[in-house]
Amino acid sequence: MVTSIRLRNTLSLFSARDCVVCHRVRLVLAAKGVTYELIPVDPGNPPEDLVDLNPYHSVPTLVERDLVLYSASVISEYLDERYPHPPLMPVDPLSRARIRLATQRMEQDWVPQVQSMQSGTKSQAEASRKRMRELLMQSLPLFKASRFFLNPEMSLADCALAPIIWRLPSLGVELNKDLKIIDDYGMRIFRNPGFMRSLTPEEKVLRELN
Ligand SMILES: N[C@@H](CCC(=O)N[C@@H](CS)C(=O)NCC(=O)O)C(=O)O
């Protein structure tokens, strides 16, 4: 139940300042051109409002009047349906299922590596760097297959993936010659003004665009 929270906008997002999962939702909002109130949160010390609204106290959490959503996939799909333009999912069921599955694999396999590189011990971070390089190498054919990930147009899969690619060099995973195709893919998204709008100041400084 919404308690003490007094939100200025109809749409508000509780978000960490540098979080690959929160960034995913900010990128969906930016791609849609939706204005919203950003409520910065330290995930280790969630504010009382967030504790009241979300039983997991996790970010991202989206609030729209009486609606409270958490889990980046649930929020992203809701936003894509609520703000249909531009669409971030293909129309045919097979392509939609492929994009959902790829996004779920990113949540389960890729995001934990990023989080371990950001806040794990030195040996955990090194193991995650190695695992991340393996994941990138294994997925090279998918990056070669189409302009965006598994799709000719930008989709919710790219909103999950681009925040990961953005952080890699700052986490010690260089996109060198072997991975140039992934660097090129990232650049196609990073050069979009919507991507720049999706970044917090803390995330903006993680990379310099040439
Ligand atoms: N499954 C969640 C995971 C998001 C997540 O990992 N959030 C982190 C911050 S980057 C968090 O809120 N951690 C604190 C907690 O879960 O209590 C989602 O998809 O939204």
Please name the residue whose Cα sits nearest to atom 12 of ligand 1: 58
Indicate the range of 7-21, 27-41, 56-70, 189-203 predicted with least confidence.
7-21
The three-class DSSP label of residue 37 is strand
List pocket residues of ligand 1, CB cut-off 6 Å. 16, 19, 21, 43, 56-60, 70-72
Domains of the chain in sequence order: 93-192 (1.20.1050.10)
Say which residue the tokens 């960034």 belong to: 23
Is 159 catalytic? The answer is no
pLDDT at 209: 81
pLDDT digits (tens, 9 = 90+) for 131-180: 999 999 999 999 999 999 999 999 999 999 999 999 999 999 999 999 99
* Cβ atoms < 10 Å from Cβ of 77: 18
DSSP state of 5: -
The pLDDT of 9-34, averaged and rounded, is 96
By alpha-carbon position, which residue is closest to atom 6 of ligand 1? 21
**Residue-level pLDDT at 1:** 44
Q: Is 8's pLDDT higher than 90? A: no
Decide if 55 contacts 110 (C-beta within 8 A): no
Flag whether the pTM goes above 0.85.
yes
**Residue 7 pLDDT:** 59
Tokens of 180: 């140039």
Q: Is the pLDDT of residue 2 over 50?
A: no
The predicted pLDDT at position 5 comes to: 56
What pLDDT score was predicted for residue 3? 45
What tens digit of pLDDT does each residue of 81-140 get? Answer: 999 999 999 999 999 999 999 999 999 999 999 999 999 999 999 999 999 999 999 999
DSSP class per residue in 141-207: HHHHHSSBTTBSS--HHHHHHHHHHHHTGGGT----GGGHHHHHHHHHHHTSHHHHHH--HHHHTT-
Catalytic residue among 11, 13, 19, 159: 19
